[in-house]
Amino acid sequence: MKYVSLFISLISFTIISALAQTKLVFVDQNSGEAVIGVMVKVPGQANRVSDVEGKVELEITKSLFISFSHIAYESVGIQVSPGEERTVYLIPTAQSLSEVVVTGFESERPLVHQAGAISKVLENELYRFNENSILSAFNTKAGVRIEQRAPASYRISIRGSSLRSPFGVRNVKVYWNDIPFTAPDGTTALNILDLSNIQNSEIIKGPAGSIYGAGNGGVISFESRKEVSENSFSTEYGFGDFGLQRFRIGLEQQIGKGGISASYVHQKSDGYREHSAMDRKVFQLSLNTKPSEKQFLTAQILYSDLNYQIPGALTAEQVGEDRRQARPGSVAQNSSIAQKTLYGTLSHEIKFHDKIRNNTALYVNTTEFENPFILDYKRETAFSYGGRTKFTYDDIWGDFPVKIIAGGEYQYGKTLAQNFGNRQGNADTIRFSDDLITTQAFLFSQFEIEWTSKLLMTLGMSNNYSKYNIDRQIDASPNSPMANNRSFDPILIPRIAFVYKLNPFSGIHASVSSGFSPPTIAEVRTNEGSINLDLEAERGTNYELGYRGSYGIFNMDLTAFYFNLNETITTFTNDQGVVLFQNAGATDQRGFEASIDYAVYKNQLATIQEVKLSHAFTGHYFKFSDYSSRGNDFSGNQLTGVAPNTLVNLLDIRSKLGIYLNVTHQYVDEIPLNDANTVFQDAYNLLGSRLGWRNVLAGRWDLEVYAGVDNLLDETYSLGNDLNAFANRFFQPAPGINWYGGIKLGFRY
């Protein structure tokens, strides 16, 4: 019996030890206060929620990776062991600039000490508006403007870069999960992405050709969720005025050392104007794994099926008669776009040792594009592939920390492009057919050295190559050349930048950077069939000085710049209304951008936990310095399509009950719509708000309901005007006051 008792005691002790409670205490990293309502997700168990003292007790039998989340803090995870007691410091989402880390210019550093004008759009910022597009969130950032001429018809302007974009996204380089999302021909199909395909975004304002290649406007880097930290199922439904409906379903599943996630989104609307309906279906499948402790591998498939109607621009008289009408002829000719796109991507990260690592991303893309328009009917079938690789070397040379980054990017695209006549929305006689081949490639390198603990210097350089070939197979007009080739001489793009760290919470940055942007195929090959081989690449130099700092509750980001652009590409229309392009001398672009945010009240233990205010001012004083077009001298005029002043004010209120309120005000100055500065879009004020409630039910269910209103003042304005428009059709009227709402439900298992 003595041995039996000893055996039972030993077993009992083992069981009690195995079930020893793991105790966690969650506190605010800045204030040290306990954080209530942190949801802790334990694999195979019901979720736990921290109490009034920020405590959570877990019963686990082995070491586990647990994740936790809170509406006001960054979602992260840790490895815990049975019987462990630990204090977990949570980073507020409304954090100081020294805590915001960005990877702009391929160098991961705190934003306060980054050598460039960089803005970050966090996930929670994307979801403080109507979730039908990224437009509203991006337009809260100084120096950035996204326009929407019709639902899903976007145009991006970073520091006036939309001058040469009558439609579409040009002159801005876009990446998605480290792959070049901008096509080899220089255009970007931003409209194929849904909000759910984006978690965080970074925006580099101004030329960044030293490391990202072509694009004088800047760089936008989108990132979707790469790692799966829990098993979950989620669904949501959104609705709004003008027939807006958005349905999403998603699944995340951990598998071994990785996971798989999938989502499907279907969004459609009837549109505010006649003939402005939109229907988009997006499917994304992601797989990630860690083959070893030093490697991370991600594969993704993105499929988008997009259809939207184009109502067309109106004259001022037509806007006065009925701002919801379509341009005459748009309905009869079925002016619209149908686009099916498939992306396959593969990304690999490897750390060779403590000093050297490599990141490589590859993609393959196919697209079917159909565009009946009032004047013609276009069909395109495109195939492209490409990738980007970079090596990073970190070391200390003597007393100087250094970082060397080197790599390259290559893109190849082939398109069969056919233009037909348009007979009541159907393709008629073929006018011309071309095989289009575009190639872009560049090598880049960057050297960073910390001369002192306060002074950081960055030197960057890229060597860029671009080429296009237009092989005309069919042409209804006589005497047209059948083969057209253009290679741009290799272009060296340098950049030098400095950061002086005043203290851990503030810094001054200065830079001089070169930029270039070759014409796109759409600018060289027009819809009338002409080919302009004489169109030159834009070249410019940007001078920039900025300051960032955090003082208690205040974050401040100030930037002044001067950008001199030569061989500026601008638009004009011929007598048939076809948009054509030309090099138009030079522009002087002087600007000032300021952002400030501050939490006027913050107490995690109170009913109202936080009240935050944010402001963003953009002053863009851009002029044509030397510009003559078709016998007219426009030198000294304001740059077309650019508002001199914009101001954004944000109010965010969050409560312990899960109720939140977001209020947004935006002022946009009058905008010149033609080079002569004789037609302007009037200044306007937009006011919107979103009210919602989110909470955790039974430890496993996430529930959120919300409702909002846009253009509460019912302003009459255009969100995307046509520049230098034929027949004075400048205006694309935007909706008046409109409402939206939605519900989200998630389950963790």
pLDDT at 14: 45
Q: What average pLDDT score do residues 689-717 get?
A: 92
Least confident of 252-261, 479-488, 539-548: 479-488
Percent helix / strand / coil, the chain, rounded to 5: 5, 60, 35
Residue-wise pLDDT for 486-538, tens only, equals: 888 788 999 999 999 999 889 999 999 998 888 888 788 877 777 888 888 88
**Among the ranges 95-109, 449-463, 568-582, which has the highest mean pLDDT value?**
449-463
Please report, rounded to a whole number, the percentage of residues in the chain having pLDDT higher than 70.
Answer: 93
The set of residues, in sequence order, having a beta carbon less than 8 Å from that of 491 and lying 6+ positions away, is 463, 464, 516, 537, 539
Q: What average pLDDT score do residues 413-440 get?
A: 92
Per-residue pLDDT at 435 exceeds 70: yes
Q: In what order do the strands lie in the sheet with 21-28?
A: 55-59, 21-28, 85-90
Quick check: 320 and 334 in contact, CB under 8 A? no
Q: If you write DSSP's letter for every residue of 58-127 in order, what string do you get?
A: EE-SS-EEEEEEETTEEEEEEEE-TT-EEEEEEPBSS--TTT-EE-GGG--EEGGG-SS-EEEE-HHHHT
**pLDDT band for position 12 (50/70/90)?**
very low
Per-residue pLDDT at 256 exceeds 80: yes
Query: Backbone phi, then psi, for 712, in 5-degree steps?
Result: -60, -25
Quick check: 592 and 142 in contact, CB under 8 A? no
Quick check: 146 and 134 in contact, CB under 8 A? yes
Q: What are 32's two structure tokens?
A: 């040290």
If one compares 356 and 477, the residue with the highest pLDDT of the two is: 356
* Angle formed at CA 319 by CA 313 and CA 322, multiple of 5 degrees: 110
Looking from the CA of 84 toward its CB, the CA atoms found within 13 Å total 15
The set of residues, in sequence order, having a beta carbon less than 8 Å from that of 717 and lying 6+ positions away, is 668, 681, 682, 684, 686, 733, 734
Query: Backbone phi, then psi, for 679, in 5-degree steps?
Result: -130, 130
**pLDDT band for position 436 (50/70/90)?**
very high
- How deeply is 63 buried, as exposed, middle or buried, from its count of CB atoms within 10 A (0-12, 13-18, 19+)? exposed
- How deeply is 489 buried, as exposed, middle or buried, from its count of CB atoms within 10 A (0-12, 13-18, 19+)? exposed
Residue-wise pLDDT for 92-111, tens only, equals: 765 666 567 788 888 888 88
Residue with tokens 């190849």: 412
Least confident of 15-19, 42-46, 595-599, 621-625: 15-19
Q: Where are the alpha helices (DSSP H) in 513-613?
A: 521-524
Q: What average pLDDT score do residues 14-19 get?
A: 46
If one compares 98 and 69, the residue with the highest pLDDT of the two is: 69
Q: Which amino acid is residue 583, in one-letter code? A: N
Quick check: 581 and 568 in contact, CB under 8 A? no
Whole-angstrom distance, CA of residue 602 vs CA of residue 93: 13
The set of residues, in sequence order, having a beta carbon less than 8 Å from that of 546 and lying 6+ positions away, is 117, 508, 509, 510, 557, 558, 559, 560
In CATH terms, the fold of domain 101-218 is Ferric Hydroxamate Uptake Protein; Chain A, domain 1 (2.170.130)
- Residue 70: CB atoms within 10 A of its CB come to 20
**pLDDT band for position 746 (50/70/90)?**
very high
Residue-wise pLDDT for 542-551, tens only, equals: 999 999 998 8
Instruction: Please tell me the total number of residues recorded for the chain in this structure.
Output: 749
Q: What pairing do the DSSP bridges indicate for beta strands 377-397 and 356-372?
A: antiparallel
Q: Domain limits of the chain?
A: 18-90, 101-218, 219-748
Per-residue pLDDT at 13 exceeds 50: no
- Rounded (10°) CA dihedral 504, 508, 513, 518: 80
pLDDT at 104: 82
Per-residue pLDDT at 360 exceeds 70: yes
Quick check: 649 and 668 in contact, CB under 8 A? no
Average pLDDT, the chain: 88
The set of residues, in sequence order, having a beta carbon less than 8 Å from that of 139 and lying 6+ positions away, is 145, 146, 648, 666
The set of residues, in sequence order, having a beta carbon less than 8 Å from that of 155 and lying 6+ positions away, is 146, 147, 148, 149, 162, 165, 167, 168, 169, 720
Nearest CA to 188 out of 308, 336, 343 is that of: 343
pLDDT at 703: 94
pLDDT at 56: 87
**pLDDT band for position 20 (50/70/90)?**
low
Quick check: 47 and 40 in contact, CB under 8 A? yes
pLDDT at 103: 84
Q: What are 227's two structure tokens?
A: 């790692």
Superfamily of domain 219-748: TonB-dependent receptor, beta-barrel domain (2.40.170.20)
Per-residue pLDDT at 15 exceeds 60: no
Residue-wise pLDDT for 649-658, tens only, equals: 999 999 988 9
Q: What are 188's two structure tokens?
A: 């970007």
- Residue 350: CB atoms within 10 A of its CB come to 15
**pLDDT band for position 732 (50/70/90)?**
very high
Instruction: Assign domain 18-90 to its CATH architecture.
Output: Sandwich (2.60)
Least confident of 364-373, 462-471, 611-620: 462-471
C-alpha 57: how far from its chain's center?
39
Looking from the CA of 498 toward its CB, the CA atoms found within 13 Å total 11
Q: How far is CA 312 from CA 153, 192, 274, 470, in A?
A: 11, 20, 10, 29
Q: Which amino acid is residue 305, in one-letter code? A: D
Residue-wise pLDDT for 325-337, tens only, equals: 999 999 999 999 9
